Amino acid sequence: MIRILIVIAIFVLLYLSQRFWFRSLWRATERSRPLVRKLARGVVVGAFAVLILSISERLVGLHWLPRAGVLGQVTAVTQLWIFTSFIAFLLFAVIKLVEWTFFGAKDLVVRRERTDIQDHERRAFFRYTARVAAAIPLVAGLYGFAAERFDFRIRKIEVPIADLPPGLDGMKIVQLSDIHSGDYMPLYEVRRAVDMANELGAHLALVTGDFVSNESDPLAGCIAELSRLRAPLGIWGCNGNHEIYARAEDAAEELFQQHGMKLLRQKNAELEFGGAKFNLIGVDYQRDHMVSGPHPPMLENVGRLVRRDVPNILMSHNPNSFDKAAELGIELSLAGHTHGGQVKFEILEKNITPARFITRYTAGLFDQPGGNGKRSFLYVNRGLGTFALPARLGVDPEITLLTLRRA
């Protein structure tokens, strides 16, 4: 019931935000010359039509708008507008509420004309502050769409594992995650990311889920591009939550197999490097509040896959499985899912990101005591692609190179 009320509240606010902005745009054209006014209002009506189509196709799950070329960019900007204008409206409304609280109550009590010079200055301050606050998310969103979305970054991480066999010291793992190939992640960008990963000379390549976002996205094309990864120990992967949404868990497994790769689904495989063995485990998305349906315990029945004689590496898209993985004595878990929040900003030396609402493991390397008496590690990849908001701000799309080291 609470979730339903939250969804209704979001839709009401979304309606109010778009009503506010389009009414403002319409009124802004009133003082223009007749021809300019007609052209401007034609643009406003066209933009409103594209907005309605974009929202409705997301609700219905169909693709009515183009995704390629110039029109595809218009569609992407429309998606960007929906989110950034919503945030801009909320900021504008909050500041106007503060203004009304201060001046509205004062005017009711004092009941005087608004001729006081200080009053005019204060009202002007609130008015300009509201406009600047509303402009910030719009400008930032456009920057995140144009500049940061495909600014792939390589992060090199060393993971110190206790009692790591000497042969595994220095083994390199390249990790990709959350590709979301489709509307806003074209296959040629996936190819570029794969080329960058191949230049790192990793011994093992792991892909931790969310190959696509929806059923209509190019799953086969994405996995074909991933098959171009080069690693002596092979290319391995696991499913993410969007494979559930796209009903593509089985299809992803079959496509991996067709390309000579392996998608592990509640399975493990023994691999060897430098004369030493390790145990690679992969699981489907571990359901929590992000997916409807029954939520069994995290990593249920995975304990039988864990080895005590060799190090264990787990691929689990959901980082919330880390606590259970540590309890099981798994030395290293690799996850994605969060996109690092996709948007991150700093307030009073604290990072603020939407990912905090779903996990405390937002991005980067984490560790905690393990059930085997050693420390267990988790690395959360920030992902390559985007979902819902076609932009990144303060969170680079990531290709990770992890190097195992003896603690």
Which residues contact residue 277 at a Cβ distance below 8 angstroms, ignoring those fewer than 6 apart?
A: 165, 270, 271, 310
Token pair of 76 as six digits: 């992407």
| DSSP secondary structure code for residue 147 in this structure | I
Domain boundaries, given as residue ranges, for the chain: 2-148, 153-406
Give the class (CATH, top level) of 153-406.
alpha beta
At 300, which helix (H) or strand (E)? none
pLDDT (tens place) for every residue of the chain, 407 residues total: 676 777 788 778 888 888 888 888 888 888 788 888 888 888 888 888 877 877 776 665 556 666 666 666 677 778 888 888 888 888 888 888 887 777 665 555 555 555 555 566 777 777 888 888 888 888 988 889 888 999 999 999 999 999 999 999 999 999 999 999 988 899 999 999 999 999 999 999 999 999 999 898 999 999 999 999 999 999 999 999 999 999 999 999 999 999 999 999 999 999 999 999 999 999 999 988 655 566 778 999 999 999 999 999 999 999 999 999 999 999 999 999 999 999 987 666 677 888 888 899 999 999 999 988 899 999 999 999 999 888 999 999 999 999 999 98
Token pair of 164 as six digits: 């790591």
Which residues contact residue 69 at a Cβ distance below 8 angstroms, ignoring those fewer than 6 apart?
A: none
Which residues contact residue 144 at a Cβ distance below 8 angstroms, ignoring those fewer than 6 apart?
A: 343, 391, 392, 393
At 312, which helix (H) or strand (E)? strand 312-315
Token pair of 93 as six digits: 């409304």
The answer to whether the CB of 145 falls within 8 A of the CB of 77 is yes
**pLDDT score at 147:** 87
Q: H helices within 144-218, ranges in order? A: 187-198
pTM as predicted? 0.85
